Amino acid sequence: MSSYQGVIVSDPWLQSQFTQVELRTLKSKFINVRTQHGRVTLGDLPPVFSKLKAFTEMFNEDEIKTVLGESSSDMGEEIDFEGFLRAYLNLQTHAIEKSGGTKSSFLKATTTTFHHAINESEKASYVAHINNYLAEDKFLKDFLPIDPATDALFDLAKNGVLLCKLINVAVPGTIDERAINTKKVLNPWERNENHTLCLNSAKAIGCTVVNIGTQDLAEGRPHLILGLISQIIKIQVLADLNLKKTPQLVELVDDSQDVEELLSLAPEKVLLKWMNFHLKKVGYEKQVTNFSTDLKDGEAYAYLLNALAPEHSTPSTLDTSDPTERANMVLQQAEKLECKRFLTPKDIVEGSPNLNLAFVAQIFHNRNGLSTESKNMSHAEMMSDDVETSREERCFRLWINSLGISTYVNNLFEDVRNGWVMLEVLDKLFPGTVNWKQANKPPIKMPFKKVENCNQVINIGKDLNFSLVNVAGNDVVAGNKKLIVAFLWQLMRFSMLQLLKNLRSYSHGKEITDADILNWANNKVKKSGRTTQMESFKDKSLSNGVFFLELLTAVEPRVVDWNLVIKGETDEDKKSNATYIISVARKIGCSIFLLPEDVIEVNQKMILTLTASIMYFCLQQQGEGPDDSDLASEVSRLSVDGSVSDAAPSPQAED
């Protein structure tokens, strides 16, 4: 693998106008046009720019042509990549003027042209969290504790090790640490591998990373690093806010219907519901609806701690009229519950949402005050899925969230029932397939409106030739898990095959089949001089992981350390190999959401996604020039506004 530099533009000013995510995305668009036409002219740009979300609601193709024509008398003149970028900025300027002069309404993805203020309180809190949880780490202990008053956090994050380790703190076992490059001095491609592993693993635990690229991490951009750390810590502190981890949460609801609603709530919403449950019991009359303004005066905290720990409560906490003094007393009371301070009195008074959320979650973790016996406990037990269904729910939920659609999915089987999420996914993967005039946006109270959405979903699936015999929108609205999983699997598989099909250097525009993927993998391993082969994606011999380690070696010879590989004869050995496979695949750029158990048990669907992802990475590396090698780290392509675009281009794009 060549030394990684990111997408470099010769003009420093032009380079400064874009993040690496934006540059990679625009470079991908530029190359697609050049591949189709042999060269790129200004006249080729209107249909390309009109599909970018940054402009799609502002201009049609004719308007874009008019804007670009103002800067050049010859629309047939060939332009290079820098000319492409300048045309984009020119159109962006017109878009800003048209919208009233605010650039932020266009680009969700942050750019270097703006100053990003760092919240020093959050930074100090996250540094304390890192110092606490990673103090004994063999590699990091030489660099800890970090001084929050300096930029040491961002400097340390530049090699990728810290962020990978923090992900494992949040969700233990996500990254096989044998795959992390932990030399004292890393070369550029080793750092890039760590950052690629970090971003793909962050997606795999539920972080939104569509506005962050590996080069952004390598440069130590403070606002991006702090934002990612915030998400990772949030996932850690909210890990128990669900019925599977804490079944006692059913005490918050009255009947089975309410239990279903509880299942669909985001963890932070569950935390608010828990907080209000206890506040109501002790006579607090206000409703806490957020972790900011509703907590500024400290009264809600005082009542909550009085409810959960009356032995530590004191009337003076409520008697004082000074919010700062009350906030200080609240934190002193919390310390007696062994709650680590995520925030200061100032943070409470100023209403810091991230730090307040973390603090309340810490209180919940240490003393939730819920009963172990509940009349509704049986409802929670009845709703537990079998292990395979639970793993598939996780896989599809994380995959959907990685696409960058507007709606965040917390519980797959509940959140897709109104059809809206499915429509968003279809529109993201295959732009133009959804008739939004016939779609009903949540909240949807009338059941038939949900059916209308789901019927459109099924109809689009049929247009894509999915197997949907005797399947109707009512089945999705009813929450039929088997049918939902079947539809989403076909959708994921189809989008993967489209990605491979669009690598014209390999497919020449022809349809790709499962058999093509199987044959490619076997041939790749065979050509590398190894003898292991797989008969199918359900071949039980795959459970020891050796074939995939040989495939990864064939794709990138230096990425697997065979000194760490074991034969895979015992269940423990198989799990060790499977964990290593997933981390190595993510390290080279594969965006995958399977678990080690999927490899060990040879889950046919997940084995296919793993193989296809490795194939996609390999073929993309072979088909693109050196400047575009990092595109392989984004199997779900990113659009310039921070969302994922054209992960599988629409059929029309092939014409």
For residue 73, name the pLDDT band (cuts at 50, 70, 90). Answer: low
Mean pLDDT, range 97-101, rounded to an integer: 55
The yes-or-no verdict on residue 22 having pLDDT over 80 is no
Contacting residues for 425 by C-beta, under 8 A, at least 6 apart: 400, 403, 405, 491
Mean pLDDT, range 625-638, rounded to an integer: 34
Res 24: pLDDT: 78
Which pair of tokens denotes residue 562?
A: 């065979």
Q: How far apart are CA 470 and CA 390, in angstroms?
A: 25
Q: What angle do CA 471, 474, 477 make, to 5 degrees?
A: 120
Q: How far apart are CA 241 and CA 206, in angstroms?
A: 15
Maximum distance among all Cα pairs of the chain, rounded to whole angstroms? 80
Percent of residues, the chain, with pLDDT higher than 90: 48
Res 117: pLDDT: 64
Res 640: pLDDT: 35
Percent of residues, the chain, with pLDDT higher than 70: 85
Q: Which residues of 67-97 are buried (b: 16+ CB within 10 A; e: fewer)?
A: bbeeebeeeeeebebebbbbbbeebbebbbe
What superfamily does domain 514-624 belong to in CATH? Answer: Calponin-like domain (1.10.418.10)
Res 574: pLDDT: 94
In terms of average pLDDT, the best of 67-71, 74-78, 203-207 is 203-207
pTM for this entry:
0.77
30-39, 98-107, 365-374: the lowest-pLDDT one: 98-107
Helices (H), 104-249: 120-133, 152-157, 161-170, 188-204, 214-218, 222-237
Mean pLDDT, range 603-631, rounded to an integer: 75
Res 629: pLDDT: 35
The yes-or-no verdict on residue 93 having pLDDT over 50 is yes
Residue 568 · residue 548 · CB < 8 Å: no
Q: pLDDT tens digit string along 275-326?
A: 999 999 988 989 999 999 999 999 999 999 999 988 887 878 788 888 999 9
DSSP string, 549-590: HHHHHHHSTTS--GGG-----SHHHHHHHHHHHHHHHHHHT-
- So what's the architecture of 120-238 in CATH? Orthogonal Bundle (1.10)
Give the alpha-carbon dihedral of 347, 352, 354, 357, to 10 degrees: 80
Task: Classify domain 247-380 at the CATH topology level.
Answer: Actin-binding Protein, T-fimbrin; domain 1 (1.10.418)
Q: How far is CA 198 from the centre of its chain?
A: 11
Res 4: pLDDT: 40
Q: How far is CA 172 from the centre of its chain?
A: 17
The yes-or-no verdict on residue 386 having pLDDT over 80 is no
Which pair of tokens denotes residue 456?
A: 């459109």
Res 506: pLDDT: 63
The yes-or-no verdict on residue 643 having pLDDT over 80 is no
CATH number of 385-487: 1.10.418.10
Res 382: pLDDT: 45
